[in-house]
Amino acid sequence: MALCGLSLSQCFRILEMVFCALALIIPMFRGSMSSPYGIWCEFVWVFGLIVAVVIFVIEKCLVDKLIELLVLKHTWNDLSCGLTLLSSLMLLSASLIYSTVFVCSTCIADMICAIASILACVVYVLDGVMLKLKCPEGYLSSVRGILRFSQAFVACLLFTAVYSYFKGVENQFRPGGLIWCILVYVVCFLPTVVVIPSHLQKCVDLLRCCNLDKLELVLDIVAVALYVSAAIIWPVFGYKNYKRDSETHDYRFHDLNIITIMTYVNLGLYIADLVLTLIVLCKNR
């Protein structure tokens, strides 16, 4: 199926570029964004725009076959499908956050921005479904790959909410327990990001000194243990030190709730990944 020499997938990429660019341009005309949630939304739209442009150019220039031949362990469809699914998830979060935080009954420009973000998300979802049908196998487009992407994605949301929570807060409202939780989020985020490209590089097979599944099992066990501690410590110290006496504290209360919920969400994702890794290791024995 083609339109003016373009495939359906390329038409999706063009729509993704247009909607992400439109969602990005409208807030940029107002100047720099100060809200951490607004900064996250802008980052998501930039990411979605870059993903669409890069994949469109690579596929249009037929460089994907060369990349697959020289660099990637799995097919190009797996990589593009994984990035598309990740962009869909990120755009969904940006659409919900922007609509909730910035849109009001008289904010026409913000409404247009939110609509553009929602349309970009819809197009990315359709594109991801189509790519998934073409690529039934592959790490990035599999359940394990999606879990890894989701863990990194939720961690980014945690960083955004943590920054918003501590913004303008005095040192006495930064107890050691909350600092420990931030370290947990960072320590678990970095290996997760490293594991994802390790499934793509052929050269990793030469450098690998142990089975990657076993390494992921160790990482998952450590991450689950750390997130269990954060899931206990953050609510205890966070709600204990919260004082609801102003509008600013009301915003911090929302941030506190978001961080608590996202901590439990990521704990569940790491537990699910741990179970799947154990299943894979048992099958390979």
Kindly report the CATH number assigned to the domain that includes residue 152: 1.20.120
d(C-alpha 141, C-alpha 80), whole Å: 9
- Tell me the backbone φ, ψ of residue 242, rounded to 5 degrees: -85, 135
Determine the pLDDT at residue 105.
79
Tens-place pLDDT, residues 192-237:
988 887 776 544 554 455 577 788 889 999 999 999 999 999 998 8
Are residue 148 and residue 280 in the same domain, yes or no? yes
> Quick one: 166 and 255 in the same domain?
yes
Per-residue pLDDT reduced to its tens digit, 88-146? 999 999 999 999 988 887 888 889 999 999 999 999 999 988 888 877 677 777 888 88
Inter-helix orientation angle 36-60/76-101, to 10°: 150
Looking at the structure, do residues 192 and 118 belong to the same domain, yes or no? no
Give the domain-ending residue among 76, 111, 137: 137
> How far apart, in whole angstroms, are the C-alpha atoms of residue 253 and residue 200?
41
- The arithmetic mean of pLDDT across residues 29-58, rounded, is 88
Residue where a domain terminates, one of 104, 137, 170: 137
End position of a domain, from candidates 137, 155, 186: 137
What pLDDT, on a 0 to 100 scale, did the predictor assign at position 124? 95
- Tell me: the pLDDT tens digits for 228-265? 999 999 998 888 766 554 554 566 788 888 999 999 99
Domain count across the chain:
2
The answer to whether residues 82 and 165 belong to one domain is: no
Q: Are residues 16 and 32 in the same domain?
A: yes
pLDDT tens digits along 164-176? 888 766 555 667 8
Per the model's pLDDT, the better-predicted residue between 23 and 248 turns out to be: 23
User: Which pLDDT score is estimated for 207?
Assistant: 46
First to last CA, the chain: 44
Those residues with Cβ within 8 angstroms of residue 253's Cβ, 6 or more apart along the chain or in another chain: 242, 244
Using alpha carbons, select from 95, 98, 147, 97 the residue that is nearest to residue 125.
Answer: 95
**Are 133 and 48 within one domain?**
yes
Same domain, 68 and 180: no
The reported pTM is 0.82
Cβ(135)–Cβ(78) below 8 Å:
yes
State percent of the chain over pLDDT 90. Answer: 40
Domain span at residue 257 reads 142-284
Same domain, 58 and 177: no
Co-location of 147 and 255 in the same domain: yes
